[in-house]
Amino acid sequence: MAVYTDVSETDLQLFIADYDIGQLLSYKGIAEGVENSNFQLHTSQGNFILTLYEKRVNPNDLPFFLGLMDHLAGNGLSCPLPIRRRDGETLGVLAGRPAAVISFLEGMWPRKPSVTHCRETGRALAAMHVAGEGFEIVRPNALSVDSWRPLWERSAARADEVEKGLAIEITQALDALEAGWPKGLPEGVIHADMFPDNVFFIGDELSGIIDFYFACNDFLVYDLAICINAWCFEPDGSYNLTKGMALIDGYTDVRSLSAEEVAALPILAQGAALRFLLTRLYDWLTTPEGALVVKKDPREYLRKLRFHRAVDNASEYGLRRAGHIEETAP
Amino acid sequence: MAVYTDVSETDLQLFIADYDIGQLLSYKGIAEGVENSNFQLHTSQGNFILTLYEKRVNPNDLPFFLGLMDHLAGNGLSCPLPIRRRDGETLGVLAGRPAAVISFLEGMWPRKPSVTHCRETGRALAAMHVAGEGFEIVRPNALSVDSWRPLWERSAARADEVEKGLAIEITQALDALEAGWPKGLPEGVIHADMFPDNVFFIGDELSGIIDFYFACNDFLVYDLAICINAWCFEPDGSYNLTKGMALIDGYTDVRSLSAEEVAALPILAQGAALRFLLTRLYDWLTTPEGALVVKKDPREYLRKLRFHRAVDNASEYGLRRAGHIEETAP
């Protein structure tokens, strides 16, 4: 629920004049999103999204994010396309912030994801991994295994306020993850935040993926582990094996998983659960009471972490085909 | 910055099916507005606004608000038009709340109103007063002079936290307003909240008026007094006489003011200033610290109240034509 920066219509007119997107007719701040200020523009040429990058985004990462969307869209993925100004640039400055205009993606994110949504999301995730090949800018994952201990140390002293015994439990999980984290798996550009609110559908058809502002280079299958966490658990905390099957089937329809990737899935799923547990825990402990932000309960990811720690092998997530699967066209 | 109620895409599809507005392609929560939850819909027929009426709106008032917009648009005023469902109704239920789809109004509200904006606003205000004639539902102004003392009593004990001496100053102003409030002025439907964020422009041309959720029956010229407060002061607190002239000229181009209305303008302007001072003061004292709501400083309206209390007659606001002025077509 965030528009951090209001924009005056005169400043916006001046900014828009550098683009070939027609006459500005209206703009409205969008309530969703917490990192940046987003506006829906309506011009004589249709709808567009205007994003002002707020301080949580490192300006040095913007060429990666905008270049990636351009690369992915160029390779046929349905995702927002940064609009070029007349000087060829995709990044400008508005209200003192880096700002970009991107194409408007039709569709709605599923509040209650279905099995079909999960299958289509798996396919789109793999299609993104394939479409990302050849993208030349590199952005290491700042929220992978190496970052978790320093992040944890910022919450550790107060963790038991959330649940008694949490500090010991997280420390043990973190020790195990650091010791057992896999090496040498296939790497590439991952989305890293492909939650339901970042995947748009019209009916059962996936219309596109948005919000590449956590994208980075990491193990491709770690992205699948994040999606298992984000898409396949029910509100009561139970794991929906049918959704897991659909997600993984959808993924492997488009990109095969190696035996090493399959073997690593349980520990990667634990890691993904811990990553979201740690950021939510930190936000939970530091967001002031009364702030009109929906505080996301970190215990949701504690339950998921416990589930993954009890998993023996990837078949428990719904993986039905072991070893290499021939790659098919997306 | 408010969307209080999220809507699932399946619920929205079902709701939309009662309307002839085409296939739903996207919807996004709008950050602006504090009373209701608003979404911008994009369908195969274009853009629409979906409003969910939250608890600050009395459901019994909705036939007035929606009927008024229908009446005004039917009389040629550029304002949102409630879209009728196939059963002829304009009001439905979505996510457990009364909900309506209204037409999308192009344009942008002026962050820094110009003299031209003020003139066009004056014209549009008068055009609204004329277009409102014949509207049959009546809604008394719940925020007029009779309501101010009970409202004041909810803040009085803490008023001096905002500024020393404020309690005495407000009590004196309120006593004077209750004693001197005019009677028998021409009445009709007033907007009652025509601040810059409720008036849309494309360039210098006014494209429409929105947000009729404070509209009610009261003295027509009281609406002009509200606009004088809302449009004609500069951020440093000074009164911009050129803007005042433009606003009043614009108004009287379309609807004449009687000698009684002109004479009452200073006390009505005081009343309008006190009305916004009192609601802002209450919100200021009761909104918790840290809440992500922009708390509007009540002292802005204290300064305006002081200005009006020193005004002798309407010419000080920029009124250049006294007495009756023949009515011209809008």
pLDDT in tens, A271-308: 999 999 999 999 999 987 665 567 789 999 999 999 99
A108 touching chain B per CB within 8 A: yes
Task: Report the 10 Å Cβ neighbour count for B186.
Answer: 13
CB spacing of B6 vs A110 below 8 angstroms: no
A111 touching chain B per CB within 8 A: yes
Phi (first) and psi of residue B187, to 5 degrees: -110, 165
CB spacing of A9 vs B290 below 8 angstroms: no
* Tens of pLDDT, residue by residue, chain A (330 residues): 467 888 999 999 999 999 999 999 999 999 887 789 999 999 999 999 999 999 888 999 999 999 999 999 999 999 999 999 999 999 999 999 999 999 999 999 999 999 999 999 999 999 999 999 999 999 999 999 999 999 999 999 999 999 999 999 999 999 999 999 999 999 999 999 999 999 999 999 999 999 999 999 999 999 999 999 999 999 999 999 999 999 999 999 999 999 999 999 999 999 999 999 999 999 999 987 665 567 789 999 999 999 999 999 999 999 986 543 444 444
B57 touching chain A per CB within 8 A: no
Helix (H, G, I), strand (E, B) or coil at A108: strand
Inform me whether the pLDDT recorded for B122 exceeds 70.
Answer: yes
- Say how far apart CA B35 and CA A121 lie, in whole Å: 36
**B188 CA to chain A: closest CA distance, Å?**
31
Q: Establish if B323 belongs to a structural domain.
A: no
- Say how far apart CA A53 and CA B250 lie, in whole Å: 40
- Say how far apart CA B9 and CA B29 lie, in whole Å: 12
Residue to substitute from A26, A32, A40, A103, interface B, most B β-carbons within 10 A? A26
CA A68 to chain centre: 14
Q: Establish if A110 belongs to a structural domain.
A: no
Same domain, B218 and B264: yes
Nearest CB neighbour to B108, from listed A9, A107, A201: A9
Residue to substitute from B30, B40, B42, B108, interface A, most A β-carbons within 10 A? B108
A205 touching chain B per CB within 8 A: no
> For position B328, what pLDDT does the model report?
43
Q: Over chain B, what is the mean pLDDT?
A: 93
Q: Establish if A329 belongs to a structural domain.
A: no
Same domain, A70 and A40: yes
Distances (CA, A) of A132 to A75, A79, A127: 8, 12, 8
Same domain, B171 and B302: yes
Inform me whether the pLDDT recorded for B40 exceeds 80.
Answer: yes
Q: Establish if A22 belongs to a structural domain.
A: yes
Structure tokens at B223: 């609406």
Same domain, B198 and B233: yes
- Say how far apart CA A166 and CA A153 lie, in whole Å: 13
- The number of residues in chain A equals 330
Same domain, B54 and B145: no
Same domain, A159 and A304: yes
Phi (first) and psi of residue B100, to 5 degrees: -140, 150
Same domain, B216 and B297: yes
Nearest CB neighbour to B9, from listed A27, A110, A289: A110
Q: What does the DSSP 8-state code read for residue A188?
A: E
Same domain, B71 and B155: no
- Say how far apart CA B276 and CA B214 lie, in whole Å: 13
Q: What does the DSSP 8-state code read for residue A179?
A: H
- B196 touches B112 (CB < 8 A): no
Same domain, B78 and B142: no
Helix (H, G, I), strand (E, B) or coil at A13: helix
For residue A143, the one-letter residue type is L
Structure tokens at B316: 């000080």
What's the domain range around A124? 115-317
Q: How many domains does chain B have?
A: 2
Same domain, B270 and B152: yes
Query: Which of A71, A103, A135 represents a domain boundary (last residue)?
Result: A103
CB spacing of B26 vs A110 below 8 angstroms: no
Inform me whether the pLDDT recorded for B111 exceeds 90.
Answer: yes
Which residue bears the tokens 């307003």? B177
> For position A287, what pLDDT does the model report?
82
Q: Establish if A327 belongs to a structural domain.
A: no
Q: Establish if A2 belongs to a structural domain.
A: no
A1 touching chain B per CB within 8 A: yes
- CATH at B207: 3.90.1200.10
* Cα atoms in the Cβ-side hemisphere of radius 13 Å centred on B244: 21
Same domain, B122 and B94: no
Element (DSSP H or E) covering residue A48: strand A46-52
**A28 CA to chain B: closest CA distance, Å?**
6
Interface ipTM:
0.87
Chain A residues with CB-CB distance to B28 below 8 A:
30-32, 40
- CATH at A43: 3.30.200.20
Query: Which of B70, B103, B136 represents a domain boundary (last residue)?
Result: B103
Q: Establish if B91 belongs to a structural domain.
A: yes
CB spacing of A291 vs B289 below 8 angstroms: no
Nearest CB neighbour to A25, from listed B10, B106, B110: B106
DSSP secondary structure, A191-240, as one string = -S---GGGEEEETTEEEEE---TT-EEEEHHHHHHHHHHHHSB-TTS-B-
Query: Which of A36, A69, A103 represents a domain boundary (last residue)?
Result: A103
Q: Establish if A158 belongs to a structural domain.
A: yes
Nearest CB neighbour to A31, from listed B31, B107, B293: B31
- Helix/strand/coil (H, E, C) string of chain B? CCCCCCCCHHHHHHHHCCECCCCEEEEEEECCCCCCEEEEEEECCEEEEEEECCCCCCHHHHHHHHHHHHHHHHCCCCCCCECCECCCCCCEEECCEEEEEEECCCCECCCCCCHHHHHHHHHHHHHHHHHCCCCCCCCECCCCHHHHHHHHHCCHHHHHHCCCCHHHHHHHHHHHHHHHCCCCCCEEEECCCCCHHHEEEECCEEEEECCCCCCEEEEHHHHHHHHHHHHCECCCCCECHHHHHHHHHHHHHHCCCCHHHHHHHHHHHHHHHHHHHHHHHHHHHHCCCCCCCCCCCCHHHHHHHHHHHCCCCHHHHCCCCCCCCCCCCC
A27 touching chain B per CB within 8 A: yes
CB spacing of A292 vs B288 below 8 angstroms: no
CB spacing of A291 vs B291 below 8 angstroms: yes
- B223 touches B187 (CB < 8 A): no
Helix (H, G, I), strand (E, B) or coil at A15: helix
Nearest CB neighbour to B9, from listed A111, A288, A291: A111
B1 touching chain A per CB within 8 A: yes
pLDDT 10s digits, B270-280: 999 999 999 99
Rg (CA), chain B: 20
A14 touching chain B per CB within 8 A: no
Task: Report the 10 Å Cβ neighbour count for B223.
Answer: 26
Chain B residues with CB-CB distance to A290 below 8 A:
288-291
- For A93, residues 6+ apart whose C-beta sits below 8 A from its C-beta are A99
Same domain, A139 and A224: yes
A4 touching chain B per CB within 8 A: no
